[in-house]
Structure 1
Amino acid sequence: MTPEDLANLAHLRRARDLIDRDYAQPLDVPTMARRALMSPGHFSRQFRAVYGETPYSYLMTRRIERAMALLRGGMSVTDACMAVGCTSLGSFSSRFTELVGETPSAYRSREHSAVAAMPPCVAKLRTRPTRISPSRAREAGRDAAGLTLAT
C-alpha cells in the first residue's frame, strides 16, 4: 500500500466512525464525505470499494442494528424508528424487513431470551443484520436473520 492509500483509509475510517457514533443524527453523503476530506462521489466510490457497501447502506444497517436492540428491549416500533434517526416509519419498516427478514413488529413480538443469555459481544455479532436474499440464505443454510440452520 502506498502512503496515499493509507491516508485514504484513515479518512474513510473517520467517516465510518462518524456513522457508528452519530447514526441517530441526520447524516448525508456530503457530510460524511467532508469528514473523509473527499468529494461526495469519490467518497462513495472509495467507501464501497473498501467496505463493500455504500455509505448510506452502512448507515441504515447501523440504524437497523440499533433498532433491533431497542425492539428486543420492548420499545415500540415508532419510538425505535425515531430513536435511531429514521424519519419515515414506512421506509424504516421496509429496510428493516429487507435486512432482518421480518417486520419490526414481528421481530419485537418474538422471544429473544437466547440473545439475552449471550455475552454482549457475541450477541452483537449474531444479531447483526446482513443483506442476503432469502433464496441465497437457504442456499447458504442460514435463516432470515443469518443464523445457521440445523441440518
Structure 2
Amino acid sequence: MPPLADHSAQRLVSSFAPTDFDQLQDPVLLRRLLRAKDCMDATAHEAWPVKRLAAVSGVSEAHFSRSFRRAFGIPPHRYLLTRRIEQANTLLRDTELSITEIVFATGWNSLGTFGRVFQDITGRSPSAMRREMRACVQQIDRVPGCVLKAAQRPDLTIAVLEKRRRVAKGKFAPSTKENAS
C-alpha cells in the first residue's frame, strides 16, 4: 500500500486490522471522508446535510453515508450531534452565555429540541449540567482539555429515539430494522 500524505487518514487506516481495511475502503476515499469529518468538526454549528458532506467528499450521497458509517462507526448526522453536544458542554462549563445563546451558537434551531436531545444524550438538562460542572470546576481545571473532552463525549452508538424508547420501556413502537436481542 502506498504511503499516505494525510496523517489523520494514516492513523485511521492503522487502527484497523488488514482484513478490516480491505473490507472498508481505499485510502483515497478515507481521506475524502476525513475531509468531510474535519469540516463538521470545524463548523459544527452550520447545517451539514448529507448532500453538502457528499459534495465536500466528492462522492454520491448514498456512497458517502454508507462509507462514513463504515469508516467511523456512526452515521454522519449522529457524529454531528456528538460534536454539537461536546461544544455545548464546553460552553456551559467555560462561559457565561445563556442556554439560549448556546443553543444557537452550536447550530440548533430550537431551544426545546436542544434541551430534549441534550437530556436524552447526557442524562441531564443543560442547566443541571452547568451547575454540576461548575460545582467541580477546581477539579476540572487540573484535567487536560483533550482528556476532559473525551470523557464528556456523548455515547451515540444508538440513535437518540432508540435511547428514548429504551428508557420509556416500550412506549414507542420498535424499529422495523431492530435486531432481536
TM-score between both structures, scaled by the size of structure 1: 0.80
Bigger radius of gyration: 2
Structure 2 letter corresponding to 1:108: R
Cα deviation for residue 94 of structure 1 reads: 1.8
**Who is 1:60 aligned against?**
81
Question: Which runs of structure 2 are paired with 1:21-100 in the superposition (5 Å)?
Answer: 21-73=42-94, 74-100=96-122
TM-fit CA distance, 1:75: 2.4
Q: Report sequence identity in percent.
A: 37
- Aligned residue for 2:156? 131
1:5 alignment counterpart: 26
Please report how far the alpha carbon of residue 89 of structure 1 lies from its aligned counterpart in structure 2 after TM superposition. Answer: 1.3
Amino acid at match of 2:114: F
Q: What is the aligned residue count? A: 134
Give the letter aligned to residue 115 of structure 1: I
Which secondary structure state, in structure 2, belongs to the residue aligned with residue 53 of structure 1? Answer: coil
CA distance in 2, matches of 1:127, 1:115: 12
Instruction: Determine the C-alpha separation between the residues in 1 that align with 2:154 and 2:140.
Output: 14
What RMSD in Å do the two structures reach over aligned CA positions?
Answer: 2.0
Q: After superposition, what is the alpha-carbon deviation per residue over 1:104-148, rounded to whole angstroms, capped at 9, x for unaligned?
A: 1111122241322212122122222223769x9xxxxxxxxxxxx
1:128 to 1:112, Cα distance in 2 relative to 1, 3 A: farther
Partner residue of 1:147?
Answer: none
**What secondary structure does 1:117 align onto?**
coil
In 2, Cα distance between equivalents of 1:109 and 1:25: 27
Corresponding residue number in structure 2 for 1:144:
none
| Structure 1 contact 72–112 (Cα < 8 Å) conserved | no
Structure 2 letter corresponding to 1:118: V
Q: Which runs of 5+ in 1 are unaligned?
A: 137-151
Amino acid at match of 2:115: S
**1-structure distance, mates of 2:156, 2:65:** 18
Check if 1:119 corresponds to 2:144. Answer: yes
Select between 117-126 and 40-49 the one with higher mean Cα deviation: 117-126
Q: Distance in 1 between matches of 2:112 and 2:60?
A: 31
Which of 119, 129, 147 is the aligned partner of 1:107? 129
Q: Given the superposition, is the C-alpha separation of residues 83 and 112 from structure 1 closer, same or farther in structure 2, using an over 3 Å criterion?
A: farther
Residue of structure 2 in register with 1:14 after alignment: 35
Contact 1:24–1:83 (CA under 8 A) maintained in structure 2: yes
Equivalents in 2 of 1:36, 1:12: separation in Å?
6
